[in-house]
Amino acid sequence: MVAFPTRLLHFIYSIGYGLLYVLFLLILHWTGVNSAVYTVLNWARKPGVAVGWCVLAVVVLPIAMQAITFGLYHLRALIARRTAVPEEAPRKNLEVSTIEMGTVNPAFSEAT
């Protein structure tokens, strides 16, 4: 287990990168270089389908993936809280309830 924080609003970064990529695809279409980078994103023939796929890929999927990652993060934290051994707390002068998830790892602290 690592202490990388996971926040629900981190999907904003994925949406930002996705919007930049869609803008790049639109620039390719507007300049006449290539209107169909992918078969489902053919801006010249089916712009409605292309917009639908872009909205799905840029808005819906990042939010869904971040929600799954956020859920797994909370599952990991729950497992860590439930597997903390209470009888080790007095030996190390720590109370299990005072252990802050993600910042303190009693297994690597100095023995007292």
Residue 37 lies in a domain: yes
- Residue 1 in this model has a pLDDT that exceeds 70: no
User: Is the pTM above the cut of 0.85?
Assistant: no
Quote the domain boundaries for residue 15: 8-102
Residue 83 lies in a domain: yes
Residue 3 lies in a domain: no
By the 10 Å C-beta count (0-12 exposed, 13-18 middle, 19+ buried), 7 is classed as exposed
| Number of domains present in the structure of the chain | 1
**What pLDDT does 96 receive?**
52
**What pLDDT does 105 receive?**
58
Residue 78 lies in a domain: yes
State the Cα–Cα distance between residues 55 and 79, nearest whole angstrom.
35
Q: Which residues of 76-91 are buried (b: 16+ CB within 10 A; e: fewer)?
A: eeeeeeeeeeeeebee
Q: Running DSSP on this structure, what letter comes out for residue 36?
A: B
pLDDT tens profile 10-68: 788 889 999 999 999 999 999 988 888 888 888 888 889 999 999 999 999 998 998 89
